[in-house]
């Protein structure tokens, strides 16, 4: 979990940096415009930690959570991380609220949904996953590793299997890949809120892994990202694209509010 968390944080930072250099675009010219290496590696780095969460869920017992506060704290973080990909509607409703209606696609009276997506992807592109779709994708990455043991498949294994369009994995990842195709923080702001939320959780997992999970001893809550820590996630090429409030304040404050609500007493940061 620790190693995968480091990789995920770096990839979210990479998405911001790639946007700053003009290589992310909502058209066919961006690095995420096709399901090639950058798209596949992005999806893998963001889904692999969830495989560990799923394996943890299989192995944990009520006794583990009751007797070991370290395990309970880590599990709370991991579970919050897992569910964050399903929080698109909740994060869209956080202030400032964002218009978000991907389900309009299924409204028989809407005959121009494709046009709406092209003109206003921030409103109509699906930017999260249902729990069923998420579970299916995560389970597809779990493979046997000897007797009574499982592991997350490597990126090489994932890439090779995904390239087989008839494979079960390819089918289960179709919606996940679609969510990231042509991604840009400006045109997929709700997904960006999800990713910034995950950065807070990953950084907390990393910190507590390096300090022996000192939750109760030091009364540490989730990691707060100050002004300096937010700069690597500034996706703007220029301030004309968005002001500081929109780029460097709102997503982070919304993420912290979501985590505080989800984690309860573990979220009291000082």
**68 domain-assigned:** yes
What is residue 219's predicted lDDT score, i.e. its pLDDT? 46
CA dist 32 and 176 (Å) reads: 13
**121 domain-assigned:** no
CA dist 84 and 92 (Å) reads: 12
pLDDT score of 210 more than 60: yes
**233 with 199: CB under 8 angstroms?**
yes
β partners of residue 179: none
**221 domain-assigned:** yes
**141 with 48: CB under 8 angstroms?**
yes
Give the range among 71-80, 126-135, 176-185 with minimum mean pLDDT. 71-80
Strands of the chain (E only): list them. Answer: 142-144, 150-152
Q: What is the pTM of this model?
A: 0.92
Summarised one tens digit per residue, pLDDT across range 238-268 is 999 999 999 999 999 999 999 999 987 554 4
**108 domain-assigned:** no
Specify the number of domains making up the chain: 1
Domain limits for position 81: 2-97+130-267
Summarised one tens digit per residue, pLDDT across range 217-243 is 444 567 889 889 999 999 999 999 999
**238 domain-assigned:** yes
């Amino acid at each position: 979990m620790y190693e995968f968390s480091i990789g995920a944080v770096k990839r979210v930072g990479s998405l911001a940096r790639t946007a700053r250099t003009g290589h992310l675009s909502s058209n066919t010219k961006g690095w995420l415009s096709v399901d090639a290496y950058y798209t596949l590696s992005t999806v893998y780095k963001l889904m692999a930690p969830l495989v560990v969460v799923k394996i943890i869920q299989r192995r944990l017992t009520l006794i583990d959570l009751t007797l070991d506060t370290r395990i309970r704290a880590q599990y709370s973080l991991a579970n919050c991380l897992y569910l964050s990909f399903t929080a698109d509607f909740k994060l869209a409703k956080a202030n400032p609220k964002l218009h978000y209606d991907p389900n309009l696609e299924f409204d028989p009276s809407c005959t121009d949904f494709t046009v709406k997506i092209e003109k206003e992807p921030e409103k109509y592109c699906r930017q999260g996953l249902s729990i069923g779709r998420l579970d299916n994708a995560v389970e597809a990455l779990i493979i046997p590793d000897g007797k009574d043991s499982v592991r997350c498949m490597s990126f090489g294994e994932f890439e090779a299997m995904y390239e087989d369009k008839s494979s079960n994995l390819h089918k289960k990842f179709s919606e996940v890949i679609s969510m990231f195709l042509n991604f840009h923080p400006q045109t997929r702001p709700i997904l960006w809120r999800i990713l910034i939320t995950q950065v807070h959780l990953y950084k907390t997992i990393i910190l507590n892994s390096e300090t022996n999970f000192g939750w109760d001893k030091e009364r540490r809550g989730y990691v707060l990202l100050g002004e300096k820590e937010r700069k690597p996630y500034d996706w703007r090429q220029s301030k004309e694209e968005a002001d500081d409030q929109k780029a460097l304040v709102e997503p982070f404050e919304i993420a912290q509010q979501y985590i505080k609500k989800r984690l309860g007493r573990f979220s009291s940061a000082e």
